[in-house]
């Protein structure tokens, strides 16, 4: 459904308030050719209404000749900021960057965050943004999950479909995505609502079964038949199944990059306002599929880069796959059981 400017401005004001935007601060809205015009106009209006100095930095798109998809999360690494000293300087001088273009997994993003600049990514359609406007409850729940994950030594994921994957932990930080940037130097993504980390480099072993109905991103399709993925010492060694398996294999092989097969982030979904079924209602290019990444109780895993967590892998190939009906256990204690989150969290409790 379409969203009124008024409702989207109100949503932006909620997010900017949760992000502790103060009057007189500098906000730079980062845009490119795929930026949604209503998201842009309402973001600038909301920030100005809150007394910020608002800039817009519009950059030409890149990677068209290399990417096989127009999804902004499909081809990573180089961005319109790469090598653009003047643009990077402007963002480093800003208190808050509203990224309506997608910098995620880019070296430039870390350079800018290191100066204390906050970056909030927001590229989903306006109605998705409004449906999942973040809340303090989202932060409470994601932070609670992060505390469960911190310090653990192994994430063990199993399912009736046949998934049995052991991910030793400890080398990488836990990352919380709750949809707003309330600390200097923080990055987040609106909409979201999940917790993630990276397994220790080259130590993941086991099998991932992408069952019928599980979602493949950036393909933005539901697997029609099971895909069986074998992981040895942190890298995918086998992808078996029918046409879906062939399509996934062909796509990953097209990057001609061994790093594309590396385990990337792992975690679970905590957003009750995100739905597994939403993707079926959208044209493929109308969304980047954040409902799929955030729906409550998924096990979200990823192949490809780990620079987001401080690693050295910056492969352009980035695959995100949320699985249903998994049990996720941390040092033997389940936090998700058969696709149900076990945190007993009740929204609105002022715990
Ligand atoms: O918000 C995001 C989006 C994609 C991803 O791989 C991680 N977090």
pTM of the model: 0.97
Mutational test site, ligand 1, from 189, 271, 294, 295, max ligand atoms within 8 Å of CB: 189
Q: Which residues contact 12 (CB under 8 A, 6 or more apart)?
A: 42, 43, 45, 46, 47
Distance (Å) from CA 24 to ligand 1 centroid: 31
User: pLDDT tens across 143-165, in order?
Assistant: 999 999 999 999 999 999 999 99
Q: Mean of the per-residue pLDDT values for the chain?
A: 96
Number of neighbouring beta carbons within 10 Å of residue 329: 18
> Could you report the predicted ipTM of this complex, rounded to two decimals?
0.96
For 81, the token pair is 């900021």
* Whether the CB of 189 sits within 6 Å of ligand 1: yes
- 327/308 Cα distance (integer angstroms): 25
How large is the angle between the packed helices 5-18 and 37-49, nearest 10 degrees?
60
The residue whose CA has the least distance to atom 2 of ligand 1 is: 189
State yes or no: pLDDT of 321 exceeds 80: yes
* Whether the CB of 308 sits within 6 Å of ligand 1: no
Task: Name which residue leads in pLDDT, 312 or 40.
Answer: 40
Nearest to 289 by CA among 195, 350, 222, 206: 222
* Whether the CB of 163 sits within 6 Å of ligand 1: no
- 6/57 Cα distance (integer angstroms): 24
Amino acid 351: pLDDT: 45
* Whether the CB of 99 sits within 6 Å of ligand 1: no
């Amino acid at each position: 459904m379409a969203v009124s400017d008024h409702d989207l401005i109100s949503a932006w004001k909620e997010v900017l308030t949760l992000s502790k935007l103060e009057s007189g601060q500098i906000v730079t809205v980062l845009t490119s050719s795929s930026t949604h015009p209503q998201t842009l106009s309402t973001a600038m209006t909301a920030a100005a209404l809150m007394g910020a100095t608002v800039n817009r930095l519009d950059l030409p798109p890149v990677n068209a000749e290399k990417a096989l998809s127009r999804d902004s999360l499909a081809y990573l690494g180089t961005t319109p900021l790469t090598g653009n000293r003047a643009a990077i300087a402007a963002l480093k001088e800003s208190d808050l960057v509203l990224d309506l273009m997608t910098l995620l997994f880019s070296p430039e993003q870390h350079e800018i965050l290191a100066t204390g600049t906050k970056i909030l990514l927001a590229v989903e359609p306006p109605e998705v943004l409004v449906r999942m406007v973040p809340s303090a409850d989202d932060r409470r729940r994601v932070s609670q999950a992060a505390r469960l994950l911190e310090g653990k030594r192994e994430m063990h994921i199993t399912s009736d479909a046949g998934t049995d994957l052991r991910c030793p932990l400890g080398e990488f930080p836990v990352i919380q995505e709750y949809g707003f940037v309330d600390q200097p130097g923080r990055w987040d993504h609106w909409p979201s609502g999940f917790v993630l980390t990276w397994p220790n480099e080259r130590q993941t072993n086991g099998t991932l079964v992408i069952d019928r109905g599980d979602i493949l991103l950036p393909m933005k399709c539901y697997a029609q038949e099971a895909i069986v993925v074998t992981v040895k010492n942190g890298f995918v060694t086998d992808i078996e199944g029918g046409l879906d398996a062939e399509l996934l294999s062909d796509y990953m092989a097209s990057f001609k990059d061994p790093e594309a097969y590396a385990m990337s982030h792992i975690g679970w979904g905590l957003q009750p306002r995100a739905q597994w079924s939403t993707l079926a209602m959208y044209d493929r290019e109308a969304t980047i599929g954040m409902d799929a990444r955030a729906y409550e109780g998924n096990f979200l895993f990823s192949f490809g880069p780990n620079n987001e967590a401080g690693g050295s892998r910056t492969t352009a190939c980035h695959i995100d796959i949320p699985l249903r009906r998994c049990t996720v256990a941390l040092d033997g204690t389940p936090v998700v059981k058969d696709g149900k989150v076990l945190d007993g969290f009740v929204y609105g409790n002022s715990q």
